[in-house]
Amino acid sequence: SAVISQKPSRDICQRGTSLTIQCQVDSQVTMMFWYRQQPGQSLTLIATANQGSEATYESGFVIDKFPISRPNLTFSTLTVSNMSPEDSSIYLCSVETGPLNEQFFGPGTRLTVL
Amino acid sequence: AQSVAQPEDQVNVAEGNPLTVKCTYSVSGNPYLFWYVQYPNRGLQFLLKYITGDNLVKGSYGFEAEFNKSQTSFHLKKPSALVSDSALYFCAVYNQAGTALIFGKGTTLSVSS
């Protein structure tokens, strides 16, 4: 298994500002993912972040709004830029690892935009 | 496109009774199916997955799931529910690239004592 931590665990932000969420894994992993879970909704994949290459964004998500960094095999950041109340969600980091290529999830970052 | 559907928003069951949380899938190619559970204020936890082989998959916390190709279903089951099983359950399938998960909308399981 993998132990994943995220910072911050929660934040309340003002409209128009940006927040960077950090994801740290206790082992080296090739693939990291960022998901969004809007209130009362399921999880939606934002992007896949591989070390050494540009993140791959899903339909409806763009790099200018959600820039991602992946400087090494244990760390990634997701920035939510120019926030609006519609960005209020839980943002989850995930990694694929282990002999069965399971996906493990971090505890999430609960973001509220006022 | 790959997708999963969870037809029930909520499932209510009494403690000690068997429980079933339903999931149907639509995929191109072989389905790689998963169940995750989300307890309040906690992250997602992996329960089990089906890749190939035996249609009955056993997972964590006494849960199992039955893969049924003819009915395109992957229902989650447990013979005897516990109050502590109350949580939000997600069915998921790998995307076509086989790299990331596509989740159903989730089913809230409520087990009463």
Are the C-beta atoms of residues A19 and A111 closer than 8 Å to each other? yes
Q: Which residue of B has its CA nearest to A10?
A: B41
What letter represents residue A14's amino acid?
Q
Tell me whether residues A45 and B46 touch, CB distance under 8 A: no
**pLDDT tens digits along A51-91:** 878 899 998 999 999 999 999 999 999 999 999 999 999 99
Q: Does domain B3-112 have CATH number 2.60.40.10?
A: yes
Class of domain A4-113: mainly beta
Tell me whether residues A102 and B46 touch, CB distance under 8 A: yes
Q: Which chain A residues are within 8 Å of B36, Cβ to Cβ?
A: 105
Give the whole-angstrom CA distance, residue B63 versus residue B45.
Answer: 13
Task: Give the gap in angstroms from C-alpha A100 to the nearest C-alpha of chain B.
Answer: 9
Provide the pairing of β-strand A10-13 with A109-113. parallel
Identify the pLDDT of residue A1.
76
Q: Which chain A residues are within 8 Å of B106, Cβ to Cβ?
A: 42
Residues 6+ apart with CB under 8 A from A101: none
Q: Which residue of A has its CA nearest to B38?
A: A107
Identify the pLDDT of residue A45.
93
**pLDDT tens digits along A13-55:** 999 999 999 999 999 998 899 999 998 888 999 999 988 788 9
Give the whole-angstrom CA distance, residue B56 versus residue A89.
Answer: 35
Q: Which chain A residues are within 8 Å of B43, Cβ to Cβ?
A: 4, 92, 105-108
At A2, the pLDDT band (50, 70, 90 cuts) reads confident
| Residue stretches of chain B with pLDDT short of 50 | none
Identify the pLDDT of residue A18.
98
When scoring B42, B58, B103, B107 by the number of chain A Cβ atoms within 10 A, the one with the most, hence best to mutate, is: B103
Residues 6+ apart with CB under 8 A from A80: A18, A19, A21, A65, A66, A87, A91, A111
Tell me whether residues B95 and A45 touch, CB distance under 8 A: yes
Identify the pLDDT of residue B41.
72
Are the C-beta atoms of residues A47 and A55 closer than 8 Å to each other? yes
Q: Which chain B residues are within 8 Å of A96, Cβ to Cβ?
A: 99
Identify the pLDDT of residue A92.
95
Identify the pLDDT of residue A99.
72
Tell me whether residues B43 and A107 touch, CB distance under 8 A: yes
Q: Which residue of B has its CA nearest to A46?
A: B100
Q: Which residue of B has its CA nearest to A108?
A: B43
Q: Which chain B residues are within 8 Å of A99, Cβ to Cβ?
A: none
Identify the pLDDT of residue B2.
86
Residues 6+ apart with CB under 8 A from A24: A4, A5, A6, A7, A74, A75
Q: Where are the domains of chain A?
A: 4-113
Identify the pLDDT of residue B43.
79
Identify the pLDDT of residue B29.
83
Q: What is the largest CA-CA distance in chain A?
A: 43
